[in-house]
Structure 1
């Protein structure tokens, strides 16, 4: 790492997870001579898949759409474990020459764009020392939640609890839950993943939820995947499986949104199929909201239901009165005995990894800007943010974003532009939330995320198929402003005079 602006990069990528690795590949694919650097706050590659290490952690969307389209997934299962995904990312970065461009243990704290030079000055903390680099383009692949803290409500009396309280985002490596009574607070994807993994070894696991979540059983593998992998070349098979899974996932989402009552009945029948006769499905698995108003949770082969059916796990729908020395007292008067309490209470959303952005010293407030094609902000030059779908695989939109950014940079280089940014034209679009979900972690985010508009290109669509089709006719100049820094223009004029 070179300090004090000694070197300028064409692109600085922040984050070495799925988004960052994909960004590096797509940028160089389109711009082979591009000089780029990836900075990663953690000690190794992986992002989410290095951070979360709780039992059973896995993808909650199919791995063939979560993996990169340019590096086929070699496994046969529909979903993958967290350690498998991290290993895939590590191997990909090494095999495609990306790894040498990564600087680990390097945190970006702030970045300021100067319009007189058309450069970002980026403040870093590397090995505890403050440093700076400059870059022509800043590409944030930081996700949308805080890595240093999860959402953690305060519970009355928790200091009285004599057991151990654990948050899944910071799972202790030495936690032994064998033969222990475990209460998991929460009902989202983390909770329904943790419980089947812990139940076989724990004495008993209880999921304590305030309200139910829709759960959808999904097979670990399917015959078409195995047939395609056996009969087709690896890349062809990956493409066929990837597009098939994308269409199936989007079809399920659209069915749920278009026919909420029918989808409720379908999901309820699936629960009845897996759960014991007489189980109170409507109390514990009948949410008040429609399917996909909040994220639908996948349970492979119905494993969560299976643990309930065999008695190793239990669901309790209630609210917490207070913690006691030996467990959790509920509003109903029941007390859940516990040796370990897991607070699977959600994420704390934040834009741009908490980096303080500014243009000529004036702070960029995310909630005051519109998202352009879900990856740029109006009036913020030479900047992109990579964020995936909430209703489909993260990588489906991330890859579209990386290709769009690569095309934009190629256009700028070809035309000699040093600055590019989207600008609103005409009446300001009607605004709505960036993510179209009413989940708690979305509603808690307030104005910390950019806004979405009601018309192109300011819409933030949540439809991978339409976005993929639209990307084929993508116009890199639509509602964009391009210019050349005055300093560069003077240099060109001076060159013309002397010529």
Structure 2
């Protein structure tokens, strides 16, 4: 919205339901100060540690005391838009923080545009499209020149590529997730999926490091194939959703087509950076589950 509002006469966001918003600057002042006095790599590592742990604290706080975090986020929006704005209707979700991702508003630009009258938010449903715009479910008419749709998104498995094994199609819904990066019974295949509760690239970086360790190990033993396989003790393992505690529709609509998550390592898809850092960097590649040939 803020980018559109720079040149449009007015931008209206029509949303079916609100999401949590948090405003943060796009410049890290602490990082900039560290870079003035410390070597670049050391400053980078300290900044990365700071940001990672701040996000981790915020997420854990949201899980343990959701009402406190909810109040903090909503009060922050109210400070931006004023007491007269209907924050309860337009910026108070029905779910707890981090049940779905929290939206970052850089430098408060969205709120600034709303205060200046360049942008607005309407919380309603679409009844129909007509000659001049949209009629909402409550009967309000939103006249507009251009409509940009941004709804109905659904996750897909591996880009909907049709994989086969020995001529038979692979149904990933019948597999178990190995460390959240590979699939039981499927050889030489790894995929990268980040965090739903933190920076996406934190986990993708770790997965890339692990895959490099895996490839180096295969080269050292002369293996050309690696396949995660269930152990005898994994028989009858309870099935869990591939990602738990995360409720957006674009995930839930596709969850039945994703691999299962078990109740024990390595058949889990953890969403915890501290846990994953040890798992991907320190754990043995040849763990008795990943089979080499």
Q: 1:309 aligns with which of 115, 123, 128?
A: 115
Q: Is 1:459 matched with 2:288? A: no
Q: 1:298 aligns with which of 82, 104, 111?
A: 104
Q: 1:348 aligns with which of 145, 151, 154?
A: 154
Task: Give structure 2 stretches of 5+ with no counterpart.
Answer: none
Distance 2:236 2:38 in 1: 49
1:368-396 superposed Cα distances (whole Å, 9 cap, x missing partner): 11110111101111111111111111221
Aligned to 2:189: 383
Q: How far apart are residue 201 of structure 1 and its match? A: 1.8
Q: 1:224 aligns with which of 21, 27, 30?
A: 30
The alpha-carbon distance between structure 1 residues 268 and 382, as it changes in their structure 2 partners (threshold 3 A), is same
Q: How far apart are residue 481 of structure 1 and its match? A: 4.4
Aligned to 1:287: 93
Q: Is 1:334 matched with 2:140? A: yes
The alpha-carbon distance between structure 1 residues 347 and 411, as it changes in their structure 2 partners (threshold 3 A), is same
Q: 2:284 aligns with which of 471, 475, 480?
A: 475
Distance 2:30 2:236 in 1: 47
Q: Which has the higher strand share?
A: 1
Distance 2:272 2:98 in 1: 13
Matches within 5 A, 1:382-421: 382-421=188-227
Q: 1:258 aligns with which of 42, 64, 74?
A: 64
Q: How far apart are residue 211 of structure 1 and its match? A: 0.7
Q: Secondary structure at the match of 1:408?
A: helix
Tell me if structure 2 keeps the 8 A contact 1:247–1:465: no
Q: Indicate the larger mover: 421-430 or 331-340.
A: 421-430
Matches within 5 A, 1:115-126: none
Q: Is 1:213 matched with 2:19? A: yes
Matches within 5 A, 1:140-179: none
Q: Secondary structure at the match of 1:452?
A: coil
Aligned to 1:321: 127
Q: 1:450 aligns with which of 252, 259, 262?
A: 259
RMSD value, Cα = 1.5
Distance 2:270 2:257 in 1: 19
Distance 1:428 1:399 in 2: 33
Q: Secondary structure at the match of 2:163?
A: strand
* TM-score of the pair, normalised by structure 2: 0.94
Greater gyration radius = 1
Q: How far apart are residue 418 of structure 1 and its match? A: 2.4
Q: Is 1:441 matched with 2:247? A: no
Q: How far apart are residue 269 of structure 1 and its match? A: 1.0
Distance 1:346 1:309 in 2: 29
Q: How far apart are residue 200 of structure 1 and its match? A: 2.9
The size of the alignment, in residue pairs, is 290
Q: 1:432 aligns with which of 240, 244, 247?
A: 240
Q: How far apart are residue 417 of structure 1 and its match? A: 2.1
Tell me if structure 1 keeps the 8 A contact 2:182–2:191: yes
Q: How far apart are residue 317 of structure 1 and its match? A: 0.8
Q: Secondary structure at the match of 1:432?
A: coil
Tell me if structure 2 keeps the 8 A contact 1:366–1:447: no
Q: How far apart are residue 347 of structure 1 and its match? A: 3.0
Q: Secondary structure at the match of 2:49?
A: helix
Q: Which has the higher helix share?
A: 2
Tell me if structure 2 keeps the 8 A contact 1:218–1:300: yes
Q: Indicate the larger mover: 211-220 or 345-354.
A: 345-354
Distance 1:323 1:411 in 2: 58
Q: How far apart are residue 475 of structure 1 and its match? A: 1.4
1:201-240 superposed Cα distances (whole Å, 9 cap, x missing partner): 2111111111110111112123211111212222222222
Distance 1:343 1:358 in 2: 35
Distance 1:347 1:235 in 2: 39
Aligned to 1:366: 172
Tell me if structure 2 keeps the 8 A contact 1:370–1:453: yes
Distance 2:199 2:152 in 1: 19
Distance 2:241 2:173 in 1: 10
Tell me if structure 1 keeps the 8 A contact 2:209–2:281: no
Tell me if structure 2 keeps the 8 A contact 1:417–1:482: no
The alpha-carbon distance between structure 1 residues 304 and 323, as it changes in their structure 2 partners (threshold 3 A), is same
Tell me if structure 1 keeps the 8 A contact 2:154–2:249: no
Q: How far apart are residue 419 of structure 1 and its match? A: 2.1
Task: Give structure 1 stretches of 5+ with no counterpart.
Answer: 1-194, 485-499
